[in-house]
């Protein structure tokens, strides 16, 4: 009788919300992520990189004149042989995101624990979303820690605190980096569903990242020349070609990340596209844009990063729902 009542309780629990047990998955996966050896290696590499780039940038900024946005330049100034920190993030964030999710689902299949997990009052919805949120929260925690380290080192090395607008811009910058990492997290999760072997999923994720980071710019240039050639040299032809090239290049998450970061950390940037001389009439050049205008400028980029993350995750969700799971 007791066993029957327990079984009825389990059935009723599974008939409730499809997100039952999701937060248990989130906390368990976060604990595993933060204590894994691969994450310790990546975190150590990222922290050392942050310290090195900030120290190099601070050495350059000490000798520069007075700058109202000195703290922002700490993130964008490099010194040979080290590039700026934002450049390092564009390289390291995808690797961290892929390392967090390339074996999220196929690892459960290989350990033969997937059927045991789903036999509990946990739906597939809760399992998949819980693993994705755990990776996203882990990534956000790591990036926030590095952000605080850089700000602290900047205060010590530069000897001045950041202004209120600088802190606000840096917070928006942190959000953009997290959204950028969310795309590669969803890509790695998708390949973890598609491929049974974690090594194959990791290689496929890295291949997609390298494709957009290295090759997509060249492909966009070739497509632009084919789809919108300049035959006579009229201004309309040139403008059409440039705008098409910008639209094609912004398919890449790397381009969206770079444009958004530049607009946030350099308030003097007033446009991210083609600007005609007619559009400059009446503009006060050299005046930094306020924060709300900079955010308005990059809002399509932020929307694109979030939309791409949701679409890729939705594709993985559909594939995972249709996948056969045997005991």
SS3 for 306-320 is HHHHHHHHHHHHHHH
Please give the pLDDT value at position 279. Answer: 45
For 188-205, what is the mean pLDDT? 93
pLDDT tens by residue, 107-146: 888 888 777 777 777 788 888 899 999 999 999 999 998 8
E strand residue ranges, the chain: none
Partner residues linked to 79 by β-bridges: 82
pLDDT for 15 beyond 70: no
Whether 44 contacts 52, CB under 8 Å: no
Taking all residues of the chain, what is their mean pLDDT, rounded to a whole number?
Answer: 82
Domain ranges of the chain: 15-322
The Cα angle at residue 164 between residues 161 and 168, in degrees rounded to 5: 115
- Of 183, 190, 224, nearest to 309 by C-alpha is 183
pLDDT tens by residue, 304-316: 999 999 999 999 9
Q: How far, in Å, CA of 105 to CA of 101, rounded? A: 8
Tell me which of 25-29, 241-245, 276-280 is least confident.
276-280
pLDDT for 43 beyond 90: no
The predicted model scores a pTM of 0.86
Long-range contacts of 288-296 (CB under 8 A, 24+ apart): 288/68, 288/69, 290/165, 291/165, 291/168, 291/169, 291/172, 291/267, 294/169, 294/263, 294/264, 294/267, 294/269, 295/172, 295/264
Please give the pLDDT value at position 7. Answer: 44
């Amino acid at each position: 009788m007791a066993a029957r009542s327990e079984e009825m309780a389990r059935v009723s629990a599974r008939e409730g919300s499809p997100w039952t047990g999701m937060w248990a998955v989130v906390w368990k996966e976060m604990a595993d992520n933060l204590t894994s050896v691969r994450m310790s290696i990546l975190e150590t590499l990222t922290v050392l990189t942050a310290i090195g780039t900030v120290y190099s940038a601070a050495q350059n900024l000490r000798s520069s004149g007075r700058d109202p946005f000195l703290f922002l330049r700490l993130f964008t100034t490099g010194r040979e042989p080290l590039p700026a920190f934002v450049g390092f993030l564009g390289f390291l964030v995808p690797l961290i995101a892929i390392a967090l999710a390339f074996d999220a689902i196929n690892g459960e299949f290989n350990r033969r624990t997937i059927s045991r997990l789903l036999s509990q009052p946990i739906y597939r919805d809760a399992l998949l979303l819980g693993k994705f949120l755990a990776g996203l929260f882990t990534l956000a925690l790591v990036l926030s820690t590095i952000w605080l380290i850089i700000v602290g080192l900047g205060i010590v090395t530069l000897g001045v605190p950041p202004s209120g607008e600088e802190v606000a811009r840096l917070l928006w910058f942190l959000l953009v980096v997290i959204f950028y990492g969310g795309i590669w997290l969803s890509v790695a999760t998708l390949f973890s569903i598609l491929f049974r072997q974690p090594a194959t999923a990791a290689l496929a994720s890295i291949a997609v990242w390298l494709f957009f980071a290295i090759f997509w710019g060249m492909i966009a240039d070739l497509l632009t020349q084919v789809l919108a050639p300049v035959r006579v040299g009229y201004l309309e032809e040139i403008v059409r070609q440039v705008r098409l090239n910008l639209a094609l290049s912004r398919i890449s998450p790397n381009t969206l990340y770079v444009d958004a970061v530049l607009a946030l950390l350099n308030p003097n940037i007033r446009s991210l596209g083609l600007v005609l001389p007619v559009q400059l009439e009446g503009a006060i050049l050299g005046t930094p844009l306020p924060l709300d205008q900079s955010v308005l400028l990059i809002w399509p980029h932020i929307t694109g990063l979030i939309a791409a993350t949701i679409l890729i995750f939705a594709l993985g969700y559909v594939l995972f729902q249709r996948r056969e799971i045997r005991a």
